[in-house]
Structure 1
Amino acid sequence: MRVDPITRLVGHIAVPGDKSISHRSVLLGAICDGETRITNFGRSADTEATVEAVRALGVTVYEHGTDTLRVFGKGLRGLQAPGGAIDCANAGTLVRLLTGILAGQEGQQFELVGDASLSARPMKRITEPLSRMGAGLETEEGHLPLGVDARPLHGITYELPVASAQVKSAILLAGLYADGETTVVEPVPTRDHTELMLEAAGAPITRREHSVTVRRAERLELGEIEVPGDFSSAAPFIVAATLVPGSELHIHDVNLNPRRTGLLTILERMGGRVTVYNRRTIGGERAGDLEVRSAELVATEVLAPEVPLAIDELPLFALLASCAHGASRLRGAEELRAKESDRVEATVDALRALGQHVEGTEDGFRIKGVPTRPRGGRIRSRGDHRMAMLGAIAALDSQEGVEIEDAECVSVSFPGFFDLLASLRQQAAA
């Protein structure tokens, strides 16, 4: 797919419901008592895999239009093993969180599989702590397929070696079924959607600045969940409006959970012009509207404590830094190498192909900023939705446009991405 430059980004847009919250609402709804009604569900290939996974486990899910679901939960201990493997497709959040839940379905056995990309991602980070809790888990040398033999669980205290909301969530969900207390200690805070939703469902949970404790639960109930707009889906448009001269873009109903919005803090240091207004709460999460104007940027350094707060947006940071005044650096982001692709290598290759000065390191990037428009060219998405969107956003501010290989992979997280981009092009031409 070819994406051409744009003169400016103006107008008003909304992005789909938050993918992380959408996953969790379906998974927790499946183990709640009664009906959970989910509105503004963020539909994508990943979240549809979660819907199909809970259906395979015996949960009824009714779909009303594209963004409203009714999940009829089976209770904490009511899931039933299907006749075959549960396909998690490309959804890392699904496979890791679901493993924590299935570990508590005592007396049953399950198998989780995924596509080639998911099968290459590390599973030892969840199997090690869950095995310590008593779960029977078997992998193929630390990768999918993953077998779960659900046994009695006991609580543990576990210090995360690498900050990861997915690993934290898997342990906490298993802790709902464990005797005693289960505590997860974080090296730095990560996104806390699981904890917020567990609190809303009535789970016995205690949150602290650097740790979370959960105790065995007997019953959960959510009722209704409204999903705010996905910040990670808004981020490409924030970056585009910052880079393309003459832009003034409004993005509405965006999730502004402070453990998700690290990009805004980084962008503020760089001289970005993003204003938050109409702050409110949506579905128990902080939310609001954003006004983004184009700006000249200066270099900055992003260190390890900020990485979990902007993990999905770090390739976009590299693009911003490559167009800024001065030399920027990202450190402490080894986790980028264990995503759908090696996102350090993929980002470096993509931006270099467009004429930008980026060098990969073991844990991030070194970037020499040149405050001119990228040349343009051709990039490989490597089947990674974040890389495809990175190429499209770079194209908007480029001199010659960008050809993106396998651009269709954006459907993993944001099926309507290119349609929204086309609507902005129409607004710019009006």
Structure 2
Amino acid sequence: MPAHRFLPPKTPLTGRIRVPGDKSISHRSIMFGALAVGETRVSGLLEGEDVMATAEAMRQMGAHIEKHGDEWRIRGVGVGGLLQPDGALDMGNSGTSTRLLMGLLASHGITVAFTGDASLSKRPMGRVIEPLSQMGASFESSPGGTLPLMMRGALPAVPITYRLPVASAQVKSAVLLAGLNTPGITTVIEPVPTRDHSERMLRGFGAELDVEEADGERIIRIHGEADLKPRQVTVPGDPSSAAFFIVAALIIDGSDLVIENVGLNPTRAGLVEVLRQMGGNIEELDRREVGGEPVADLRVRHSVLTGIDVDPAVAPSMIDEFPVLFVAASMAQGTTTTSGLDELRVKESDRLAAMAAALTSAGARVEELEDGLVIEGTGGEPLRGTAASPVTTHLDHRIAMSMAVAGLASKDGVEVDDTAPIRTSFPNFMDLLEEAAA
């Protein structure tokens, strides 16, 4: 397990960098390509361990997926054409792969075992088991509704109308994907909007999908027994990966960094808005559309940040970015208060407890509440850093990368107990940090 001490860079962060492709869009481009008839070509795919777990699972069920140069080519089997896999589908650390594939396979007449690593095996799957069971799929899970898990798909499945009890793009997507091979119309009612990559991409692949707003809720209907068409997909840069470099450039004196090709889907761009409210200088250059998604190059300059009360309504649009926002808050002037973040307790780790402990060990002043953190900033002064023992990341890639950023803005550096989990979502993170600080 490679521990690593992240030290303040000798120079500000400058120049231009490009972060890897969006994780959410990468997963979906492989899944939808595997369900289309013909060849889908994908450029900019994130080649982290999570996305590769999705690719391997789709191969086990009959899709041909291979890399040619910088492009991935996927020959699909058609909706309803997935084959019974020979063995269990190993999801590694990927909650997205697990929940979306459970949905996809719920309306196929096959039986599948899902397994995962120690961290994934603690994560709750009951939230997708419930609606998929209503559609006719059956499940035998480990105690507490976790992996390992055996699932029998239903053929034909039953279309349902499902109101999301929690704001979760993964649950929404699981039900919509189950609806692809279900006769009739499957409906999801979303009280709070969540990331909408599934809806945008399903339409792009030719599914019949309608979205309407009524009484402040989104109502999404998918017409079953869909016929997906192959397409060219260009994956924009992942805003959740860009987040670490945005915060680093804001808090490291003298920085002026351009992060190219960042996806700015409004259901994902909450962090940029919150950092601007705190006084962050983040400029959008060359705003454009790539594959149905808004994209821009972001120029980020060192800024004096001020603590704010973060509106809990933005939480779904930046749920994965809170750990690195907590780092920015620890360097701001005054107090930052966050609430409505219960969802962070059931991520790869309990991210509220993990970040409270990690930042406290690095010298930040943090109070942990039931559903958020209250952070008293240093007013721009560097954090002390960790001296006695390394920060515990709990095998969580976002804790590791957030505390790496904290180390860049500390006096003595921050030691992280294990950098291996970073490979799940951002394989070249360490190289890009060196490049930006060179």
TM-score class, shorter: over 0.9
Tell me the alpha carbon deviations over residues 202-261 of structure 1, each in whole angstroms, 9 at most, x when there is no partner. 111011342211111331013110101111111000000000111100010111101111
Q: Deviation at 1:39?
A: 0.5
Task: Report the counterpart of residue 287 of structure 1 in structure 2.
Answer: 295
The 10-residue stretch of structure 1 (135-144 or 342-351) with the greater mean CA deviation from structure 2: 135-144
Q: Alignment partner for residue 225 of structure 1, among 233, 246, 256?
A: 233
Identical-residue share of aligned pairs (%): 48
1:257 to 261, 265, 268: 265
5 Å-filtered alignment, 1:252-401, equals 252-371=260-379, 372-377=381-386, 378-401=390-413
2: CA distance, partners of 1:150 / 1:161: 23
Instruction: Give the SS at the match of 1:29.
Output: helix
In structure 2, which of residues 253, 260, 267 is the aligned counterpart of residue 245 of structure 1? 253
* Cα drift, residue 137 of structure 1: 2.0
| 1:269-288 residue CA offsets vs partner (Å, 9 max, x unmatched) | 10000000101111211101
Q: Structure 1 residue 191: deviation in Å? A: 0.5
How many residues are treated as equivalent by the alignment?
424
Q: Deviations over 1:400-425 (max 9, x none)?
A: 11111101210010010001111122
2:97 alignment counterpart: 94
Look up the equivalent residue of 2:25 and give its one-letter code.
Answer: I
Q: Is contact 1:204-1:217 (8 Å) kept? A: no
Pick which of 56-65 and 188-197 moved more. 56-65
* Unaligned residue ranges in structure 2 (runs of 5+): none
CA RMSD of aligned residues (A): 1.1
Determine the structure 2 residue equivalent to 1:167: 171
Cα distance in structure 1, aligned partners of 2:207 and 2:140: 29
Measured in 1, the distance between the counterparts of 2:310 and 2:363 equals: 23
Q: Distance in 2 between matches of 1:256 and 1:321?
A: 22
Letter in 1 for 2:157: L
Q: TM-score, normalized by length of structure 1?
A: 0.97
Is 1:83 the counterpart of 2:95? The answer is no
Alignment-mate amino acid for residue 29 of structure 2: S
Q: List per-residue Cα deviations over 1:39-79 (Å, max 9, x = no partner).
A: 011110101111111111111111124x4210100000111
1:139-158 alignment, distance < 5 Å: 139-141=141-143, 142-151=145-154, 152-158=156-162
User: 2: CA distance between counterparts of 1:178 and 1:77?
Assistant: 9
Q: Which moved more, 1:318-327 or 1:305-314?
A: 318-327
Question: 2:12: which partner in 1?
Answer: 8
**What is the one-letter code of the residue matched to 1:145?**
P
Checking the alignment, whether the CA contact within 8 Å between 1:247 and 1:293 is kept in structure 2 is yes
Q: Distance in 1 between matches of 2:317 and 2:226?
A: 32
The code of the aligned residue for 1:373 comes to P
Do 1:175 and 1:181's aligned partners in 2 also have CA atoms closer than 8 Å? yes
1:180 corresponds to which residue?
A: 184
Q: How far apart, CA to CA, are the structure 2 residues paired with 1:294 and 1:217?
A: 52
- Secondary structure, counterpart of 2:343 in structure 1: helix
- 1:55 alignment counterpart: 59
Partner amino acid for 1:258? Answer: P
The ranges of structure 1 where at least 4 consecutive aligned residues each deviate by more than 6 angstroms after the TM superposition are: none
Per-residue deviation at 1:398? 0.9
CA distance in 1: counterparts of 2:311 and 2:288, whole angstroms: 30
Report if aligned partners of 2:327, 2:403 keep a CA contact under 8 Å in 1.
no
Task: Report the more deviating stretch, 361-370 or 71-80.
Answer: 361-370
Spell out, residue by residue over 1:73-128, the C-alpha distance to the aligned partner (whole angstroms, 9 max, x if none): 0000111111211111111100000011111112x211111111111100000000
For residue 199 of structure 2, the aligned residue among 195, 199, 202 is: 195
Query: Could you tell me how far 1:321 is from its partner in structure 2?
Result: 1.2
Q: Is 1:422 matched up with 2:434?
A: yes
- Is 1:406 equivalent to 2:418 in the alignment? yes
What TM-score does the superposition give when structure 2 sets the normalisation length? 0.95
Select 2:41's aligned residue among 19, 31, 37.
Answer: 37
Deviation at 1:132, TM superposition (A): 0.8
